Amino acid sequence: MLEWKRVSSSDSQTPAQGQVSSTCPLDCEALFPSDAPTTTHSCSPKCPLHPSLTRSRFLAFFSPPADPDWASYKLGIFICLNCSGVHRNFPEISRVKSVRLDFWDDSIVEFMTRNGNLCSKAKYEAKVPAFYYIPQSEDCMVLKEQWIRAKYERQEFVASSLTWTFSGNREGLLWKRGRDNGQYLRRKFVLLTREGLLKYYTKEEGKAPKAVISIKDLNATFQTEKIGNPHGLQITYKRDGHTRNLFVYHENGKEIVDWFNAFRAARLHYLKTAFPELPESEQREAFKKRWFALDPQERRLFYYKNPLDAFEQGQVFIGNKEHGYEIHDDVPKGVRGNRWKAGITIVTPERRFVFACPNEKEQREWLESLRHVLALPMTPLNPYATAATGQR
């Protein structure tokens, strides 16, 4: 069973059924509840961790594990195993210890107790722009690395920072894969946010662009494995009824992540212009209880007002990651007003669909079914161009 709310943005199985809820944009970092029960690590001969260092004081970085076993004692925060590997790459800003296996002296324990993730978040994330993507645990390394560098090394989001005053336009060179020969060549890209356009040129000084892309139809996702580059970005847009893919990368991690967030900023500007009544930080549409049925073969999530209705009220097409579709086990920042706290967000190139489940068990079951569909390869029977959403 689920409850549902909808938001405007940026092998066949037996259909799963249940009830769901949906609403509004923009990713937020999930946190441990502040009233979580206090637990302490038992001290062992190899880990004399002071009992006052309690996990309930700390939060994990991207998508919090139930029991983080690592900490950055230079920043005073608990981190998960995935994040610990990223932090080890930057010893000048972060130093990592195992909570269970390393020795903790009293001075470090005292520093951890005085700080913690809540304090760190308040200081280093005071001014994160609404469009800036906060990576999750499953995201690629370049997103995580640049998020950590932006927060702690460059301190881009502290209260006094003016770094992310986005001008609206961006211009630069990216390596783009040729459509026919597969060769990567440098191409000039120009993003014009106010005009809602992305242009690219085959020649750096060329006057006529090779393509002019509407921000309304644009989506961008990191596809590092498929492209074969740790900074690989896939740009998709619609042209003549088909989906066109551009595969690009930049040698510099900061540069490609800045482009990615510039696309998100341009997309947000378009949405705020096209739908001025929708606030960026909160939603107003109420959750509505609906009955849902998932058809994996058709890649469609249907919803009904009642379980035995003859016709669906609407449907959500679920493509795959290569076309910009994502499934998240939380809800966007600013979504409020629902008594069910176990959330699911389906991200499509056109919008976000936000749902609430009555309990975590049903949330896990729905996530498993939805992610199974997300992982299935696309077929001619369910082309990306037929993706449809609706609500009545």
What CATH number did the domain enclosing 307 receive?
Answer: 2.30.29.30
Mean pLDDT, rounded, for 356-377: 90
Mean pLDDT, rounded, for 114-132: 90
Q: For 119-150, b where at least 16 C-beta lie within 10 A, e where not — what string?
A: ebbeebeeebbbbbbbbbbebbbbbbbbbbbb
- Residue 268: which pLDDT band, with cuts at 50, 70 and 90? confident
Quick one: how far is CA 263 from the chain centroid? Answer: 14
Lowest mean pLDDT, pick from 212-216, 271-275, 288-292? 271-275
- 174 plus 278 within the same structural domain: yes
Q: For 179-203, b where at least 16 C-beta lie within 10 A, e where not — what string?
A: eeeeebeebbbebbbeebbbbbbee
Residue position matching structure tokens 């800003």: 93
End-of-domain residue from the set 119, 153, 187: 153
- Residue 288: which pLDDT band, with cuts at 50, 70 and 90? confident
Residue position matching structure tokens 């378009």: 270
Q: Which two three-digit tokens encode residue 305? A: 């007002």
End-of-domain residue from the set 153, 187, 208: 153
Say if 137 falls within a structural domain. yes
C-alpha dist (Å) from residue 158 to 125, 129, 136, 149, 363:
6, 11, 21, 13, 35
pLDDT number for residue 277: 59
Does 269 have pLDDT greater than 80?
yes
pLDDT number for residue 36: 35
Does 42 have pLDDT greater than 50?
no
- 192 plus 234 within the same structural domain: yes
pLDDT number for residue 381: 63
Per the model's pLDDT, the better-predicted residue between 298 and 222 turns out to be 222
Q: Which two three-digit tokens encode residue 288? A: 């509505």
**Domain that residue 227 falls in:** 170-282
Does 2 have pLDDT greater than 90?
no
- 267 plus 296 within the same structural domain: no
Q: Which two three-digit tokens encode residue 57? A: 């004081």
Residue position matching structure tokens 């938001």: 7
How much is the pTM? Answer: 0.61
What CATH number did the domain enclosing 94 receive?
Answer: 1.10.220.150
Return the bridge partners of 44, or none.
47
Per the model's pLDDT, the better-predicted residue between 284 and 371 turns out to be 371
Percentage of the chain surpassing pLDDT 90? 35
End-of-domain residue from the set 233, 255, 282: 282
Does 13 have pLDDT greater than 70?
no
299 burial level (CB within 10 Å; 0-12, 13-18, 19+): buried
Lowest mean pLDDT, pick from 201-215, 220-234, 268-282? 268-282
- 296 plus 197 within the same structural domain: no
Per the model's pLDDT, the better-predicted residue between 124 and 168 turns out to be 124
Q: Which two three-digit tokens encode residue 279? A: 């606030």
pLDDT tens digits, 43-56: 333 444 444 454 44
- 207 plus 309 within the same structural domain: no
CA-closest candidate to residue 290, choices 225, 376, 366, 350: 366
Does 383 have pLDDT greater than 50?
yes
Does 22 have pLDDT greater than 60?
no
- Residue 273: which pLDDT band, with cuts at 50, 70 and 90? confident
Q: What is the 3-state secondary structure (H, E, C) of the chain?
A: CEEEEEEECCCCCCCEEEEEEECCCCCCCCCCCCCCCCCECCCECCECCCCCCEHHHCCCCCCCCCCCCEEECCCCEEECHHHHHHHHCCCCCCCEEECCCCCCCHHHHHHHHHCCHHHHHHHHCCCCCCCCCCCCCCCCHHHHHHHHHHHHHCCCCCCCCCCCCCCCEEEEEEEEECCCCCCEEEEEEEEECCCCEEEEECCCCCCCCCEEEEHHHCEEEECHHHHCCCCCEEEEEEECCEEEEEEEECCCHHHHHHHHHHHHHHHHHHHHHHCCCCCCCCCCCCCEEEEEEEECCCCEEEEECCCCCCCCCEEEECCCHHHCCEEECCCCCCCCCCCCCEEEEEECCCEEEEEEECCHHHHHHHHHHHHHHHHCCCCCCCCHHHCCECCC
**Mean pLDDT of the residues in the chain:** 78
pLDDT number for residue 387: 45
- 276 plus 298 within the same structural domain: no
Report how many domains make up the chain: 3
- 206 plus 149 within the same structural domain: no
Per the model's pLDDT, the better-predicted residue between 324 and 43 turns out to be 324
pLDDT number for residue 166: 60
- 273 plus 330 within the same structural domain: no
Mean pLDDT, rounded, for 293-303: 88
Does 20 have pLDDT greater than 60?
no
Contact yes or no for 355/21 (Cβ under 8 A): yes
pLDDT number for residue 33: 31
Quick one: how far is CA 5 from the chain centroid? Answer: 19
- 69 plus 114 within the same structural domain: yes
- 259 plus 277 within the same structural domain: yes
Does 145 have pLDDT greater than 80?
yes
- 257 plus 298 within the same structural domain: no
- 183 plus 276 within the same structural domain: yes
Say if 252 falls within a structural domain. yes
Say if 55 falls within a structural domain. no
Say if 163 falls within a structural domain. no
Say if 132 falls within a structural domain. yes
Say if 239 falls within a structural domain. yes
Say if 6 falls within a structural domain. no
Per the model's pLDDT, the better-predicted residue between 351 and 44 turns out to be 351
Say if 277 falls within a structural domain. yes
